[in-house]
Amino acid sequence: MAAKKTFEECLERLSQIVEQLEGGQATLSESLKLYEEGSKLAAACGDMLEKAQLKIEQIDSQYRPAAGPETGVEA
C-alpha cells in the first residue's frame, strides 16, 4: 500500500497532470487516465483543505475569547 501523500505532493502531481493534458501529446486513453488521477488528487486536496479549515476553527474557538460585552472584545 502506498504511503499517503502530502497536500504539497498532491498539488505538484496535479500540476504535472495539467501540463501533460494541456500539452496535447497524450493519447485519448492516456488522457482519460490522467484525468481520472487528477480528479482523485483534486478531491484529496479538497478534503485536506477542509480538514485544515476545521482545525483552524477548533484552534480559534479554543484560544480566542468569545465576543460580547462580558469580554470587552468585539468579533
- How confident is the model over 3-53, as pLDDT tens digits? 789 999 999 999 999 999 999 999 999 999 999 999 999 999 999 999 999
Mean pLDDT of 41-67: 92
> DSSP H helical segments within 1-75, as ranges?
7-23, 28-63
Residues paired with 68 in a beta bridge: 73
Query: What's the CA gap between 65 and 35, in Å, rounded?
Result: 45
In a domain, 32, yes or no: yes
In a domain, 72, yes or no: no
Number of domains in the chain: 1
In a domain, 73, yes or no: no
Mean pLDDT of 66-73: 58
- pTM for the predicted model, two decimal places: 0.75
- Domain span at residue 42? 27-62
Nearest to 38 by CA among 71, 70, 11, 67: 11
Query: What's the CA gap between 42 and 72, in Å, rounded?
Result: 43
